[in-house]
Chain A
Amino acid sequence: MKKIVALLLVLVMACALFAACGEKKSEGSQSDKPAGEVKPFVIGGIGPLTGGAATYGNAAKNGAEIAVEEINALKGDVQFTLYYEDDEHDPEKSLNAYNTLKDKGLQILLGTVTTSPCIEVSAQANADRIFELTPSASSTDVLGGFEDESGNITIARKDNVFQMCFTDPNQGIASAEYIKTNNIGTKVAVIYKNDDAYSTGIYQKFISQAAKVGLEVVSITTFTADTATDFSVQLADAKNNGADLVFLPIYFEPASLILAQANSMGYEPAFFGVDGMDGILTMKNFDVSLAEGVFLLTPFSADAEDEQTKNFVSTYQSKFGEIPNQFAADGYDTVYALYNAIKKGNLTSDMTNAELCEKLIGIFTSADFKFDGLTGSGVTWATTGEVSKAPKAVVIKDGVYVGYNG
């Protein structure tokens, strides 16, 4: 009992101590209190802000915050209040975060950032009839209703859920086709992370598509979160099997280690990454020469010359001191896609969640709703929840992305 009493006491003290500054902080982050009579839409985001996946969640959060600030600064009829909650990349915590958002009056959900938590939250949001647009959870299980090769279905379609990023299978298929049609490599090695839903999802589709288009896969190797440091075995296997292209359906941190280790063992195949590879050039102190000639699929390039991207990148840099990656751009785009849809449907924040949800589903799936953002222009959404962005391959030359055309 002593310990319990102590625990409760410390708890009370801690809460009392920090409640005050906590409150202040939350006001600070919603500094853009709307002017005038407009009642803002309460939108919520969920992502990993602490723990091993924190870099993705924080990027998406920062991107969304910039978009909300910009929109609120217009002082138009549509204003947003954004709450962002941490889920530590854990479905259980993610559902807790979602419930917290509901307590704060959540109307529309922008999240979650990572896949497994998103599968959990989107099921609940579907039951609650809250519209959800996820920036970067790319598994088809997030949307539901997809069949695999043998016609198996794991989850029924959740009609309120839409994606801002392209799906894992899309990337797997696009990568295989891209490599084949442009003849980037003939013998392919794959290194994927087999305890990760995103990586395994892309890998599975890539392999089946490679078989279809007649791409020879000579080496398939894996790693896990616990073994994501030493890739000598995987690279040696690829090298010994004569692979001239290594496909990396993984995130950029392990990818950068693979590039460095391949370089130090004198193995120089072509490398082909997917959208998780984006961000490799934004890492502080990264030796860009290692990434020279790396192909990747990305919808976003921080070096793009258009006005919108330039503004976004400069605002992001001045605010957070880093170059934004694709997660930040997706986070930013989700807010604007929502903003455009709300404008288009003349939706108001006093509608019920279910009303908003049905109207937004209608708008997002209507043929004439097109969205121009950082990650694509003329973007539309299918009733399956997929976005119409085509995965575009770029190649890294002198530390910048260059469009690749055959």
Chain B
Amino acid sequence: MKKLKPTTRSNIFTYGALLIIFTVVYILNNGGVISNNISGLLIPICAYVCMSISLNLTVGILGELSLGHAGFMSVGAFSGVIAASALRNVTDNGTLQLIAAIAIGAVFAAIAGAIVGVPVLRLNGDYLAIVTLAFGEIIKNLLNNFYIGVDNSGLHFSMKDTASLNMDKGTVIVNGPMGAVGIPKVSTLIVGFILILICYAATANITNSRTGRAIKAIRDNRIAVESVGISVAKYKLMTFVTSAAMAGMAGALYALNYTTITPKKFDFNTSILILVFVVLGGIGNVRGGMIAATVLVVLPELLRAVKDYRMLMYAVVLILVMIFTNNRKARGLIIDPAKKLFGKLIPKRGKGGDANG
């Protein structure tokens, strides 16, 4: 084998692993081997994995905490739903609708990202976090007051109620707090998987490029970066908008997997859930975040076995994992022996931006 850069080797390993996992899952799923429950989780997992990659770009690589990422997801979700519903009059091809929805979702979420990013990225730390939280809530509140419908004469919009849409025998797409109902269920596993690949490739490219080095340098020492003439604002905004666009794509994929979505779904709790993926996977460790997203979506379903204690157990697992991975003594008890056992099976990854060890 020719000498490859460690990052390239690590990326090839990841793409290979992803492809194998996907092929196996796809075959098993189509063969009906996987239970209905897990099979129904596959597309949401794709969406959440993309969300995890997206937030990792902001939190891990840019180093800014965002507590409102679900807001961008909802912008993508609702604009994607409107696009797909409007396209129903044009084409019957579900995949085409889905791709258009994802593209439109990405564009709108990117616009939202820019609107939020321009004023906000001059703040730091917890203050930035709280402003992103505020934006997430504002987006939710606005969407709760959006009424959008489509009839033969085109799209109608109102902020009052469905009656003021002035439609003639049309279809209400977004009905305020009731959200979008009657969404075409067009999301497919293959598109979901391709979306993961796109998000991962984009992130890997950014981190391993000149831009990425600038961004990571901003994370590690902003003042030093400024002093060598790199425009902090530009790179910060660029990363943030890219991250928002990814969230928008994930949102569109997510929404078109259901017949109904409500603005309430994309609240603070969902933002936090996505943050948990990132922190659990290791801040800045994109692959870890992807695995953590998968595990944390499946976990509550597995915990259905414990009935009433389900969410209690979920909380306990969350706390224990955080303690066992972050406390040296606790780690010595379980993880190090386990690492000795499993460690040889897992190849060492390149230094591709692992901030947290």
**Which A residues are closer than 8 A to B by beta carbons?**
1-11, 14-15, 18-19, 21-23, 25-26, 29, 49-51, 85-86, 88, 90-93, 95-97, 99-100, 102-103, 115-116, 119-120, 123-124, 139, 141, 148-156, 194-197, 200-201, 204, 208, 224-226
Of A26, A50, A91, A148, which one neighbours B262 at CB under 8 angstroms? A91
**A14 engages B317 (CB within 8 Å):** yes
**A150 engages B321 (CB within 8 Å):** no
Query: Smallest distance from the beta carbon of A356 to chain B beta carbons, Å?
Result: 18
**Which B residues are closer than 8 A to A by beta carbons?**
35-37, 39-41, 44, 137, 141, 144-145, 149, 151, 161-163, 165-172, 175-179, 181-182, 185, 258-265, 280-282, 288, 291-292, 295, 299-311, 313, 316-317, 320-321, 324-325, 331, 334-335, 338-339, 342-343, 346, 349
A116 to B334, CA, bound (A): 43
In the assembled complex, which residues on chain B have CB atoms less than 8 Å from the CB atom of A9? Answer: 324, 334-335, 338
- Having A29-B307, A99-B36, one finds 15 other A-B pairs with CB under 8 Å, namely A3-B280, A4-B288, A5-B338, A14-B303, A22-B305, A100-B36, A102-B36, A103-B35, A120-B258, A120-B260, A124-B259, A139-B178, A150-B168, A152-B169, A200-B178
In the assembled complex, which residues on chain A have CB atoms less than 8 Å from the CB atom of B176? Answer: 194, 200
A7-B181 in contact given A22-B307, A99-B36, A197-B262 (Cβ < 8 Å): no
In the assembled complex, which residues on chain B have CB atoms less than 8 Å from the CB atom of A196? Answer: 177
Of B162, B260, B321, which one neighbours A10 at CB under 8 angstroms? B321
In the assembled complex, which residues on chain A have CB atoms less than 8 Å from the CB atom of B339? Answer: 2, 5
**B265 engages A150 (CB within 8 Å):** no
**B292 engages A4 (CB within 8 Å):** yes
In the assembled complex, which residues on chain B have CB atoms less than 8 Å from the CB atom of A148? Answer: 162-163, 172
A-B residue pairs, 8 tightest by C-beta: A99-B36, A197-B178, A99-B40, A123-B259, A22-B306, A22-B305, A155-B182, A99-B37
A116 to B180, CA, bound (A): 10
A358 to B58, CA, bound (A): 52
In the assembled complex, which residues on chain A have CB atoms less than 8 Å from the CB atom of B334? Answer: 6, 9
In the assembled complex, which residues on chain A have CB atoms less than 8 Å from the CB atom of B282? Answer: 2-3
A100 to B163, CA, bound (A): 39
In the assembled complex, which residues on chain A have CB atoms less than 8 Å from the CB atom of B258? Answer: 91-92, 95, 120
A127 to B92, CA, bound (A): 18
A373 to B64, CA, bound (A): 58
Query: Smallest distance from the beta carbon of A236 to chain B beta carbons, Å?
Result: 22
A89 to B304, CA, bound (A): 16
**A3 engages B299 (CB within 8 Å):** no
**Chain B interface main SS type:** helix
Of A50, A120, A149, A225, which one neighbours B310 at CB under 8 angstroms? A50
Of B40, B44, B171, B177, which one neighbours A197 at CB under 8 angstroms? B177
In the assembled complex, which residues on chain A have CB atoms less than 8 Å from the CB atom of B307? Answer: 22, 25-26, 29
In the assembled complex, which residues on chain A have CB atoms less than 8 Å from the CB atom of B310? Answer: 50, 86
**A15 engages B178 (CB within 8 Å):** no
A88 to B295, CA, bound (A): 19
A96 to B321, CA, bound (A): 24
**B170 engages A152 (CB within 8 Å):** yes
A150-B36 in contact given A90-B265, A200-B178 (Cβ < 8 Å): no
Of A6, A26, A119, A151, which one neighbours B324 at CB under 8 angstroms? A6
Query: Smallest distance from the beta carbon of B61 to chain A beta carbons, Å?
Result: 18
**A4 engages B306 (CB within 8 Å):** no
A92-B44 in contact given A4-B288, A10-B324, A152-B170 (Cβ < 8 Å): yes
Query: Smallest distance from the beta carbon of B74 to chain A beta carbons, Å?
Result: 13
A335 to B145, CA, bound (A): 38
Of B36, B260, B292, B303, which one neighbours A7 at CB under 8 angstroms? B292
**B304 engages A85 (CB within 8 Å):** yes
A325 to B73, CA, bound (A): 38
A278 to B145, CA, bound (A): 28
In the assembled complex, which residues on chain B have CB atoms less than 8 Å from the CB atom of A103? Answer: 35-37
Query: Smallest distance from the beta carbon of B107 to chain A beta carbons, Å?
Result: 24
**B316 engages A14 (CB within 8 Å):** yes
In the assembled complex, which residues on chain B have CB atoms less than 8 Å from the CB atom of A92? Answer: 44, 258, 265
A115 to B175, CA, bound (A): 14
In the assembled complex, which residues on chain B have CB atoms less than 8 Å from the CB atom of A151? Answer: 168-169
A100-B37 in contact given A91-B265, A148-B172 (Cβ < 8 Å): yes
In the assembled complex, which residues on chain A have CB atoms less than 8 Å from the CB atom of B349? Answer: 1
Residue of A whose beta carbon sits closest to that of B346: A1
A8, A23, A119 — which one has the most chain B CB atoms within 10 A of its CB?
Answer: A119
A200 to B151, CA, bound (A): 23
**A18 engages B181 (CB within 8 Å):** no
Residue of A whose beta carbon sits closest to that of B170: A152
A226 to B185, CA, bound (A): 31
Of B149, B162, B165, B305, which one neighbours A23 at CB under 8 angstroms? B305
Of A14, A152, A226, which one neighbours B162 at CB under 8 angstroms? A152
Of A90, A96, A119, A200, which one neighbours B259 at CB under 8 angstroms? A119
**B304 engages A86 (CB within 8 Å):** yes
A26 to B310, CA, bound (A): 13
A102 to B305, CA, bound (A): 15
Query: Smallest distance from the beta carbon of A192 to chain B beta carbons, Å?
Result: 10
Residue of A whose beta carbon sits closest to that of B304: A100
**B316 engages A7 (CB within 8 Å):** no
**B181 engages A154 (CB within 8 Å):** yes
A403 to B294, CA, bound (A): 54
Of B149, B179, B280, which one neighbours A116 at CB under 8 angstroms? B179
Query: Smallest distance from the beta carbon of B312 to chain A beta carbons, Å?
Result: 9
**B288 engages A21 (CB within 8 Å):** no
Query: Smallest distance from the beta carbon of B106 to chain A beta carbons, Å?
Result: 21
In the assembled complex, which residues on chain A have CB atoms less than 8 Å from the CB atom of B338? Answer: 5-6, 9
Query: Smallest distance from the beta carbon of B141 to chain A beta carbons, Å?
Result: 8
**B177 engages A96 (CB within 8 Å):** no
Query: Smallest distance from the beta carbon of B12 to chain A beta carbons, Å?
Result: 18
